[in-house]
Amino acid sequence: MAADPVSVLQRIFGFPDFRGVQRDVVSRVLAGENTLAVMPTGAGKSLCYQLPAVMLEGTCVVVSPLIALMHDQLRAAEAVGIRAATLTSVDENRAETRGRFLDGALDLLYVAPERASTADFRDLLDRGKVALFAIDEAHCVSEWGHDFRPDYRLLRPLLDSFAGVPRLALTATADAHTRADILEQLGIPHEGMIVAGFDRPNIRYAITPRDGTTRQIVDLVRATPGPGIVYAQTRAGTERLAEALAVTGRPVRAYHAGLDPAVRAANQAAFVASEDMVICATVAFGMGIDKPDVRFVAHAGLPKSIEAYYQETGRAGRDGDPAVAHLFWGAEDFARARQRIGEVEAHRQPGERARLNALGALVETAGCRRRILLAHFGEEAPAACGNCDNCLAPPKAIDATETARKYLSAVFRTGQMFGSTYVEQVLTGKSTERSLVNGHESLSVWGIVDGEETILLKPVGRALQLRDALRANPHGGLEFGPAARAILKGEEPVALVLPPKRERRRKGEAAA
Ligand code: ADP
Ligand code: ZN
**Per-residue pLDDT reduced to its tens digit, 188-204:** 999 999 998 889 999 99
Tell me the CB-side half-sphere exposure of residue 137, using CA atoms within 13 A. Answer: 18
Helix (H, G, I), strand (E, B) or coil at 111: strand
Residue 17 CA: nearest ligand 1 atom is: 23
Q: Residue 160's pLDDT is what?
A: 96
Residue minimizing CA distance to atom 27 of ligand 1: 44
Whether the per-residue pLDDT at 506 is higher than 50: the answer is no
- Which residues neighbour 490 within 8 Å (Cβ) at sequence distance 6 or greater? 401, 405
How far is 436 from 453, CA to CA, in rounded Å?
A: 24
Ligand nearest to the CA of 392: 2
Residue 76 CA: nearest ligand 1 atom is: 16
Residue minimizing CA distance to atom 20 of ligand 1: 44
pTM of the model: 0.76
What confidence tens digit (pLDDT) does each residue in 388-403 have? 999 999 998 899 999 9
Whether the per-residue pLDDT at 462 is higher than 50: the answer is yes
Whether the per-residue pLDDT at 508 is higher than 60: the answer is no
Sign of CA pseudo-dihedral 401, 406, 412, 418: negative
Q: Are 354 and 306 in contact (CB under 8 A)?
A: no
In angstroms, what is the span from residue 372 Cα to ligand 2's centroid?
9
With both helix axes pointing from N to C terminus, report the angle between 94-102 and 119-127 in degrees, rounded to the nearest 10: 40
Whether the per-residue pLDDT at 507 is higher than 50: the answer is no
Residue 13 CA: nearest ligand 1 atom is: 16
- For the chain, the residue count is 512
In angstroms, what is the span from residue 3 Cα to ligand 2's centroid?
45
Measured between its terminal Cα atoms, the distance across the chain in Å is 57
With both helix axes pointing from N to C terminus, report the angle between 45-55 and 22-30 in degrees, rounded to the nearest 10: 30
- ∠ Cα 91 96 98 (to 5°): 90
Kindly report the number of other CB atoms within 10 A of residue 46's CB atom: 17
The lowest-confidence range among 321-335, 349-363, 432-446 is 349-363
Q: Residue 501's pLDDT is what?
A: 60
Report which DSSP code applies to 495.
Answer: E
Question: φ, ψ for residue 262 (rounded to 5)?
Answer: -70, -40
Ligand nearest to the CA of 171: 1
Is the ipTM reported for this complex over the cut 0.95? yes
- Please name which of 160, 171, 87 lies closest in space to residue 135, comparing C-alpha atoms: 171
Helix (H, G, I), strand (E, B) or coil at 109: strand
Alpha-carbon radius of gyration of the chain: 26
Residue minimizing CA distance to atom 17 of ligand 1: 44
Whether the per-residue pLDDT at 504 is higher than 90: the answer is no
Q: Residue 175's pLDDT is what?
A: 80
Ion ligand 2 — residues with CB < 5 Å: 368, 370, 385, 388, 391
- Please name which of 497, 437, 440, 439 lies closest in space to residue 424, comparing C-alpha atoms: 440
How far is 97 from 93, CA to CA, in rounded Å?
A: 6
C-alpha 461 chain-centroid distance: 26
User: Strand 323-329 vs strand 203-209: parallel, antiparallel, or unpaired?
Assistant: parallel
Which amino acid would we find at residue 48?
A: C
In angstroms, what is the span from residue 202 Cα to ligand 2's centroid?
12
Which amino acid would we find at residue 121?
A: F
Report which DSSP code applies to 11.
Answer: I
Sign of CA pseudo-dihedral 257, 259, 265, 266: negative
Residue 172 CA: nearest ligand 1 atom is: 3
Q: Are 146 and 123 in contact (CB under 8 A)?
A: no
Residue 45 CA: nearest ligand 1 atom is: 3
Residue minimizing CA distance to atom 5 of ligand 1: 44
Report which DSSP code applies to 120.
Answer: H
- Which residues neighbour 360 within 8 Å (Cβ) at sequence distance 6 or greater? 334, 466, 467
